Structure 1
Amino acid sequence: MRLVVGLALRDLVHQKVHLICNVAILAGVLVPLLVLFGVKNGVYEALIGRLLSNPATLQIDTSGNEVFVADDAETVRGWPEAGFVTLKTRSLFDFVNVRVEGGREKRDALLIPSGTGDPNLPDGVTLGPGDVAVSAGLAAQLSIQPGARLQVITQAEDRPRQLVLTLDVTSVLPAASASGRSVLANVEVLDLVEAFYDAYALPEYGIVDGRPMSQRTGEYEGLRVFARELESLAALQSRIEQEFAVRTEARTAEVETILNLGRNLNLALLFTAGVASVGLAAALVFGFWGEVARKRQVLAALALLGIGGRFLWLFPVVQALASGCCGLLVSFGLFLVAGAAAERLFNSGLTEAGGLVSVSMGQGLVIGLLVLAFVAGASLFAAWHAGRTDPADVLRSGVT
């Protein structure tokens, strides 16, 4: 076997025209496909990356004045499509005034129900009952740093005193996570604000006038839900609407458009690769078969020397794999050149992170293995033909 492999490689080096033709055929098909695959990767991954970089993409909010209880939130949390889930109080009471403890400067801000696991929070950040996270805009205006104490202040015309909640700032959110002036807190904080407006007594906060909290029912206006992944957003939104008979708001249409684009690009790439493979297979099969036919006397001479047909079939297979390896090296080299040229030509600003043309190392390895398997398969007809070489052909041809 080693002798046949060595002879096949030396013959391939000696017959450079055959090698160059096979490499040219492979590169002519592979390079355009690699560029198309790379562009599909770069553009699609950039679009998906933009969606995922904005946590609001996965968010679903119920609309209208509905009635939800804590068990409803637990029900949604148990669904496989759902990630973070929290209840929402009435939006009428979401706006509050905030200031740093001991400071004089105040700003109005939007109070948003949140909690540990909220995709808007940086990794590793938790929100306890007395913790909040603030938006970058609010932090800049009030010079808020993590670890500061923040006072949330609200007042109602029919209440003699303000409600002041002093909370710990655990995080300042990135600008992309929360715009404007906003404060993320557990829904229990928002529930206290709502109870204040509903004229309930909160003696632990100095509000002694009003109805006792024991009379308050645990009802909420809505749900704030995040899907686990983009692919489950539409299904989760539909399930919430059907389960609770409510309207919801989400960026489902935008997400579905991007996901459909990815599926259509994959189909187009598979169709193009399939058509190209047919032509490539025909060229390689007839090329390898023609080369075996041309070397029939050489193969017959090897058979006459005792190298049987069970080893002769390796001759075209080894040459095919060697040609495939050379073709892959040339193809990936030309792909890198074409990718660099595409980056210069199309300055779309779409793919600052990953590049317009992108093929990962893992993808490149898989492509290489598939190409070698394809080339080896295309050489099997020639291998079968070589394995049937009869030494008598040498005698009939007068070879000694």
Structure 2
Amino acid sequence: MLRLALADLWHERVLFLCSALGCAAVLAPLIVLFGLRQGVVAGLRAELLDDPRAREVVSVVNRTLEPALFDRLAADPRIAFLVPRTRALSATIVIENPAREGQGVRMELLPTAQGDPLLPGLVPGADGLVLSATAAERLGLRTGDAALASVARSRGGEREVLSLPLRVTDIAPPAAALRDSAFATVPVLLLVEDFLDGTAAADARPGSEAEARARPFAGFRLHAARLEDVPALDREFRLAGIEVASRAEAVAGLLRLDGNLALLFLAIAGAGGAGYLVSLGVGLWAQVERKRRDLALLSLLGLKRRALLALPLIQAAAVALAGAVMAFAIAASVATVLNRAFAGTVTGDRPVCLLTAGMGLAAAGVTLGGALLAAVLAGLRAAAVPPAEGLAEG
């Protein structure tokens, strides 16, 4: 039956080619539209993912947050990284290059820990610092150099200074900090806060991580596991009365764009696809009506009903596959033109229209399924042709 169906298509190859081109004419724009959606959204998503702060959520108002809250947050699967933060007024320190005495730079002291997305693979250690690129340049410090951190307080009319000899373990990536800053472990930040509060002596040194995590903190800095988690976390913290700063609006805008483009694609694909399937079904039905005598003779010669049913299905599958191949070839050509025309203007160096082999296979599969569905009625009509018609019209 397969050979008979293909031989019939070859006999009417002009009609077959027209049907395949009709399928390609409907399918190619849909593939281009889907490629544009994938390219634009993937490009915008990649730009956000390239920014280490895109998934960051930071508390901006000093609160008293108990260790139990941090335990709950650490157990939340939506949170990939969490580090507590001391009061903003206590997170300022002077870093000095010992080789440039008296030329210290006041900067923000930021908490960090193992697995910090802002510092991929960089851990300062108990007596180390990770300097921002701008701070390292101003101080003339490089990885491995010694540095002196100091903070002053006035107590009983006397000025006291806490001095901490530290080492620059690494230089932070430029995107991690846009201004002069230094990353240190939580015990270092707590020591600075305790010294300014008057509860630590000038010769005190940082405690252990375990002791630090058992204390309440004024805030936190966390990174969501996925971009999609940022708006939800931002909303939940604000409902709980904790003011935070995040890229929730930008992320939510990207997700809305993705959803709107998906809705647009489904609407256009549904309208265009339904129209084509109706057209294909009507064409196959017309072919069955035109070949009623031939089908009746085949039935008279002993061809079973299921074989007659398969005839339009096989031909519809051939049309669908040929149309899908043509459509993907046309879409690939259009995508090449679009990517060259919009190179570097919309999504950086990423393609604005992204087509993959998986899309081609998916398009072929969906088209094949739709064509077979459209051909079922024609197949049932072919199977219902009585053998007697072949004799009557003969």
2:69 is the counterpart of 1:72 = yes
Alignment partner, residue 355 of structure 1 = 351
Structure 2 Cα separation of the partners of residues 317 and 144 of structure 1 = 74
Distance 1:381 1:100, change over 3 A: farther
DSSP-derived class of the 1:47 partner: helix
Match of 1:7 in 2: 4
- Report matched runs for 1:202-213 at 5 Å: 202=201, 205=204
Q: 1:101: Cα distance to partner?
A: 6.2
TM-score (norm 2): 0.88
Q: Could you tell me whether the CA contact under 8 Å between 2:162 and 2:202 is conserved in 1?
A: no
Aligned 8 A contact 2:58 2:245 in 1: yes
Q: Does 1:337 align with 2:333?
A: yes
C-alpha change, 1:144 and 1:12, in structure 2 (3 Å) is farther
Is 2:156 aligned against 1:156?
no
Greater mean alpha carbon deviation, residues 362-371 or residues 314-323: 362-371
| Deviation at residue 204 of structure 1 after TM alignment | 5.2
2:189 maps to amino acid: L
User: Residues of 2 paired with 1:143 and 1:389: CA distance?
Assistant: 91
* 8 Å CA contact 1:38, 1:358 repeated in 2: yes
SS in 1 for 2:54: helix
**Following TM superposition, by how much is the alpha carbon of 1:37 offset from its aligned partner in structure 2, in angstroms?**
0.9
2:246 paired residue number: 250
2:224 is aligned, of 223, 227, 233, to 227
Moved more, 108-117 or 347-356: 347-356
Identity of aligned residues (%): 30
Q: Secondary structure at the match of 1:117?
A: coil
- After TM superposition, the structure 1 = structure 2 runs for residues 1-400 of structure 1, keeping only pairs within 5 Å, are 4-99=1-96, 106-122=104-120, 124-126=121-123, 128-142=125-139, 144-158=141-155, 160-202=159-201, 205=204, 218-243=215-240, 245-347=241-343, 349-398=345-394
Gaps of 5+ in 1: 208-213
Measure, in 1, the Cα distance between the counterparts of 2:56 and 2:205. 36
1:157-185 Cα deviation digits (max 9, x unpaired): 55655323344544433222322222222
Q: CA deviation at 1:239?
A: 2.3
2: CA distance between counterparts of 1:86 and 1:378? 58
Return the offset for 1:317. Answer: 1.2
State the distance in 1 between where 2:254 and 2:109 align: 31
Q: What one-letter code is carried by the residue in structure 1 that aligns with 2:294?
A: V
The answer to whether the 8 Å contact 1:116/1:128 transfers is no
Residue type matched to 1:275 in 2? Answer: A
CA contact 2:55–2:247 (8 Å) conserved in 1: yes
3-state secondary structure, aligned to 2:276 = helix
Segment drifting more, 89-98 vs 32-41 = 89-98
How big is the shift at 1:8?
Answer: 1.0
Secondary structure of 1:300's aligned partner: helix
**Separation of aligned partners in 2, 1:351 and 1:32:** 21
How much has 1:114 moved relative to structure 2? 1.5
1:205: Cα distance to partner? 4.6
Structure 1 pair 142–18 and aligned structure 2 pair: CA distance change class (3 A): farther
TM-aligned CA distance change 1:363 to 1:309, over 3 Å: same
State the secondary structure of the residue aligned to 2:14. Answer: helix
Contact 1:309/1:389, CA 8 A, preserved across alignment: no
The residue type equivalent to 1:385 in the other structure is: R
- Counterpart of 2:175 in 1: which secondary structure? coil
Gaps of 5+ in 2: none
Query: 1:164 touches 1:205 (CA, 8 Å); kept in 2?
Result: no
Over 3 Å counting, the alpha-carbon distance change for 1:172 and 1:362 in structure 2 is farther
Q: Distance in 2 between matches of 1:184 and 1:292?
A: 76
SS of the residue corresponding to residue 129 of structure 2 reads: strand
Instruction: Specify the SS of the correspondent of 1:121.
Output: coil
- State the shift of 1:100 in Å: 5.3
Name 1:210's counterpart in structure 2. Answer: none
Q: Does the 8 Å contact 2:332/2:355 carry over to 1?
A: no
CA shift in 2, pair 1:83/1:201, >3 Å: same
SS of 1:230's partner is: coil
Greater shift in the superposed pair: 96-105 or 183-192: 96-105
Partners in 2 of 1:391 and 1:174 — Cα distance?
80
Give deviations 1:289-337, integer Å, cap 9, x for gaps: 1122222222223222222111122211111111111111110111011
Q: Is the 8 A contact 2:62 2:88 kept in 1?
A: no
Give, in angstroms, the shift of residue 144 of structure 1.
4.7
After the TM superposition, which of the residue ranges 340-349 and 312-321 deviates more from structure 2?
A: 340-349
| CA distance in 2 between partners of 1:295 and 1:128 (Å) | 83
Deviates more, 1:145-154 or 1:330-339: 145-154
66-75 or 45-54: bigger deviation: 66-75
Equivalent in the alignment of 1:211: none
Q: TM-score, normalised by structure 1?
A: 0.87
